[in-house]
Amino acid sequence: MDKEQRHTLAKVFSDPISPGVRWKDVEHLFIGLGGYAKWSDPSQLTVELHAHKESFKTPTRDKNATLDASDGKRVQAFLASAGVTKNMAEG
């Protein structure tokens, strides 16, 4: 993971989830963690990480849109289920 991806990971695991986390940042985070991320349509991000798969429906077709609290919790839960921890943001 690069510095930007670690910063995104820290924001996703903050409580409450930090504002300003964009879907585009989440996509890059999954790739930085060694996973797969693809927009299956303009408002659905499909990811796979450590044999775990999930599709996230975004509220808008804009990849620069930010996660709301419930989206952030879903991303956080998925990352945790794939073995990703908050401490990994420290590099």
pLDDT digits 0-9 by tens, 16-56: 888 889 999 999 999 999 999 999 888 899 999 999 999 99
Whole-model pTM: value is 0.92
SS (H, E, C) 7-62: HHHHHHHCCCCCCCCEHHHHHHHHHHCCCEEEEEECCEEEEEECCEEEEEECCCCC
For the chain, the first-to-last Cα distance in angstroms comes to 8
pLDDT, residue 59, reads 80
Residue 58 CA to chain centroid, in angstroms?
12
The domain spans of the chain are: 3-85
